[in-house]
Structure 1
Amino acid sequence: MKARGAVIHQVGGQWEVQDLEVSEPAEDEILVKVMASGLCHSDDHFVTGDIPVNLPMVGGHEGAGIVEKVGSRVTRVKPGDHIATLFIPACGVCKYCVRGQSYICNNGAGMETGMAMDGTARFHDTDGNPIGGVTRLGSFSNYLVCHETQAVKLPDDIPFDLACLVSCGVATGYGAAVNAAPVRPGDVVLVMGLGGVGANAVQGAKHAGADHIIVVDPAENKMELAAGFGATAAFTSIDEARPLIAQLTNGQGVDVTIVTVGRVDGDIIGEGFDTVGKAGSLVLVSVGSHERSLSVSPQDMTNLAKSIKGVMYGNCRPLGDIPRLLDMYRTGSIKLDELVTNRYKLDDINQAVEDMHAGRNIRGVVVHEH
């Protein structure tokens, strides 16, 4: 199968759009005609080296498309089905899946290689050299091959450019508030960063019943956008937000702070942790520094019973939660259309990344041509 995709060849480089060859699916794999792919900040971490992977690599993991072909042992989907890609497999049988923790399925091991589960490549360049796919996917290509456990069937009536967002950003942000925190009715919640994940953390906090949802993001254009997703206040810095936090909490601090900034480090974690009140939680969604340093007070953590929680994939069960989120979109309980700020052709991928860095987008989406 001939394909066209955006590839990163070296840390610090730019995405290069090139012709690709896509292998036939193995007996437990599917060939997907990718219709749309969200521009998630995680893909940028492969470029910066924050997430070490084997390069070259076809980017993209937030995908939606149509099943073109299936292997002989595939049972979850069939040709013609609309699917969203799962950047973590959900095998359903490992220790974590059977405990309801498919967001840390054992089959996620080795994804940094970009190779399929059998250790071989599904993408090749026109000279036959193997190329990996981000999280064994590579939705910046208009065709990909993945394991059936990395696909969830979608209703046919959901547009692909919205469905792709639910495969990562929506599930991650919404789940960070509802599953990981968890936000409770009456809570005061702070969300740090209003991108494609942060906007959905706001939606999740609202749906969970928070009385006050405060957004902090340095981009001025996002101040008005925050209210549309359910924020009750928005500021460009935590310092600006402190008087309101003190007023709403009698000086105690928020119940939950959710960190969804583009790149996190120990100082940002410390700044967020300081906003949390007694028995409150800092929920860490963002990816960033590998340094073993957190600017937090162990005494505050102990004496005030505060906690820091890491969250992967919104601690969701994607096979059930993604269809449920789409049902919520149908009924107006969550917003998807408003998440898409700009749509791009694949050839404009580097402009899309620049817009993401500049804070111009809630979410940008690549719409593939075929």
Structure 2
Amino acid sequence: MHETGQAVSVELVTLADPGPGQVRVKVRAAGVCHSDLSVVSGTIPQLTPLVLGHEGAGVVEAVGDGVTRVGVGDHVIFNWVPSCGECFFCTTGRPDMCDEAFTLMTMGTMPDGTTPFSQNGEDVYMFSQTSCLAERTVVPEAALVPISRDVPFDVAAITGCAVMTGYGAVMNTAGGAAGRRVAVIGCGGVGLNVIQAARLDGATRIIALDRDARKLEDARAFGATDTINTAEVGDPISAVLDMTDGLGADDTYEVVGHPDTIALAYGLTRKAGKVVVVGVASPEQTVELGAFSIPAESKLITGSWYGQAVAGRDLPLILEKYRAGGLKIDELISHRFTLDELPQALDALARGEVRRAVILMEET
């Protein structure tokens, strides 16, 4: 990606050897996530030129000095919040909030201030210390989680963001869904994982809301008990109230990232319920809520970044649930592309045509 708002291109870059604490990975599959699209559009500001990608899986090819967590030949998932392990948040059980990881995401470098990519002698920045929409990448070892070799690479790739973010929003951020009535706004790849996590944990009702009829069909396939097409229903709040004995949803998940849908999520939620904002809006946008309603209705409003993941614990756990037949991950993948077809994959995502698209790397 050379500039914000312009089409991406697939080009040759120079890749440095892994330095101390760094690992070179041969990428085998990479998901095309809406966050990548948000980088291209400028919703998530990044320095350019940039190699995109944060949702992927591959095989370790080489390691730098001091690497102990992974070895050559290991199969790995990329962890796009490679936490430092030392800041306040890392040492209090919230590595998803790591100060260093967030700072380095905005800087486009690794912890030592370098980027492994260059083109014509000029630095090319990283996305979230992973940049896995590439045949190979070099990352800090904290950006990798080893996995079993029998997990398909495409499944492993999308587990690293789409599945983790949606599943973790339910199980980690909200503390589960057993016995609760849940509403989910936005039924793309992440929203479907919110839905299936709620189903697996025993939600009594799962109400899916979206403007796209095809996505609502997917929502039912992944466990929604009810659907509301917001392009056709004039008052979705009243519709949800009718489905919940006039109370509203116990927990509402916003998986779009827009002020209007965040405000809608608040409106759908009952008094003393939970509003979990998963979608990523632009830093310039704001949400308006009635000030009186905040104490009077006492709803808990929280965000969920990366599903509040402890990556080394949660990613293997999710894959175990997949292998046991509990999680639908193969079914999430609706489109497969080659790396040369990345621009088409991003276009299909922007048009809302995919549940999840995966780039499958050719052997090189």
Confirm whether residue 162 of structure 1 aligns to residue 155 of structure 2.
yes
Deviation at 1:334, TM superposition (A): 0.9
For 1:106 and 1:150, how far apart are their aligned partners in 2? 15
For 1:183 and 1:231, how far apart are their aligned partners in 2? 16
Deviation at 1:207, TM superposition (A): 2.1
Deviation at 1:250, TM superposition (A): 1.7
Confirm whether residue 215 of structure 1 aligns to residue 208 of structure 2.
yes
The one of 347, 358, 361 aligned to 1:365? 358
The one of 173, 189, 194 aligned to 1:196? 189
Tell me the residue number matched to 2:72. Answer: 79
Does the 8 Å contact 2:237/2:264 carry over to 1? no
Any idea what SS the aligned residue of 1:35 has?
strand
For 2:351 and 2:264, how far apart are their aligned partners in 1? 22
Unpaired runs of at least 5, structure 2: none
For 2:96 and 2:234, how far apart are their aligned partners in 1? 34
Unpaired runs of at least 5, structure 1: 1-7
For 1:341 and 1:113, how far apart are their aligned partners in 2? 33
The one of 88, 97, 110 aligned to 2:81? 88
Does the 8 Å contact 1:269/1:295 carry over to 2? no
Tell me the residue number matched to 1:258. Answer: 253
Tell me the residue number matched to 1:146. Answer: 139
1:53-93 Cα deviation digits (max 9, x unpaired): 11010000001000000011000000000000011013334
Tell me the residue number matched to 2:325. Answer: 332
The one of 104, 108, 114 aligned to 1:114? 108
Residue identity matched to 2:246: G
For 1:231 and 1:70, how far apart are their aligned partners in 2? 44
Tell me the residue number matched to 1:21. Answer: 14
Tell me the residue number matched to 2:164. Answer: 171
Residue identity matched to 1:252: L
Residue identity matched to 2:104: G
Any idea what SS the aligned residue of 2:13 has?
strand
Tell me the residue number matched to 1:279. Answer: 272
Confirm whether residue 245 of structure 1 aligns to residue 240 of structure 2.
yes
CA RMSD of aligned residues (A): 1.4
* Change in 2 beyond 3 A, CA 1:47/1:76: same
Any idea what SS the aligned residue of 2:12 has?
strand
Deviation at 1:270, TM superposition (A): 1.0
Tell me the residue number matched to 1:40. Answer: 33
1:218-252 Cα deviation digits (max 9, x unpaired): 12212221122111112221646445422332211
The one of 95, 99, 105 aligned to 1:102? 95
Does the 8 Å contact 1:183/1:256 carry over to 2? no
Residue identity matched to 1:25: P
1:253-292 Cα deviation digits (max 9, x unpaired): 111111111xx23222112211111111111111123235
Does the 8 Å contact 2:104/2:110 carry over to 1? no
Any idea what SS the aligned residue of 1:17 has?
coil
* Change in 2 beyond 3 A, CA 1:35/1:183: same
Residue identity matched to 2:111: M
Tell me the residue number matched to 1:314. Answer: 307
Greater shift, 290-299 or 67-76, is seen at 290-299
Does the 8 Å contact 2:50/2:125 carry over to 1? yes
* Change in 2 beyond 3 A, CA 1:98/1:83: same
Residue identity matched to 2:74: D
Percent identical across equivalent pairs?
Answer: 36
The one of 266, 282, 285 aligned to 1:289? 282
Residue identity matched to 1:193: G
Deviation at 1:368, TM superposition (A): 1.0
Residue identity matched to 1:223: L
1:271-318 Cα deviation digits (max 9, x unpaired): 221111111111111112323531211212211111210111101211
For 1:289 and 1:71, how far apart are their aligned partners in 2? 37
Does the 8 Å contact 1:57/1:133 carry over to 2? yes
For 1:94 and 1:330, how far apart are their aligned partners in 2? 34
The one of 256, 261, 266 aligned to 1:268? 261
For 1:245 and 1:216, how far apart are their aligned partners in 2? 10
Does the 8 Å contact 1:90/1:319 carry over to 2? no
Greater shift, 73-82 or 203-212, is seen at 203-212
Q: How many residues get paired?
A: 360
Any idea what SS the aligned residue of 1:178 has?
helix
The one of 299, 320, 345 aligned to 2:292? 299
For 2:283 and 2:111, how far apart are their aligned partners in 1? 26
Any idea what SS the aligned residue of 1:144 has?
strand
Deviation at 1:97, TM superposition (A): 2.0
